Structure 1
Amino acid sequence: GTDAIPETDGAEKGTSYNKVRGDKVIAFARDFLDEALPLSSGSHVGTTGYVVDAASLTVTLADGSTVGLKDPSQLLGYQGTPDAPTA
């Protein structure tokens, strides 16, 4: 773990899952993806799916449209299956 998420406003670490903290972790990760791996349009915030298709990444946005990475060469590999990558 890291200290990237402050333990304030209900986001304290504990012995069981903390939904407030989990939501903050997801928001932090999506913001990071927007900076490190920007999409051709839209944002990782609110995405509903990621699929690897013919060595490119297809991202489904909240409105149902699909986009790729702004720089497709940033997809260097993945783990899992193409229709449900895990990493």
Structure 2
Amino acid sequence: MTVALMWEARAAEGRGEELLTWARAQELPSRPVRRETFRAPQDRVLVITWWDAPYDAELPELPEPDGELVMRAVHRWRFDSVGKD
């Protein structure tokens, strides 16, 4: 089974590049099958990691950034793959 973990944060005003750099520098204790980092308007950063694991497996996730770097708590979601279209 493939599980995707999504991590999304919104940077504090004017700190989007800093948040992006911070997210890209975060090491996980084990390597996912795949990892991609995205950015969007309003200084949002999204990181998706793909894992070959059961849906309820304990998987490493990116931590919360320093509270001054973000506007709000990080949003996190977990999905299981239903195949490619």
Q: Which structure is larger by alpha-carbon Rg, 1 or 2?
A: 1
Structure 1 or 2: more strand by fraction = 2
Same fold (TM over 0.5): no
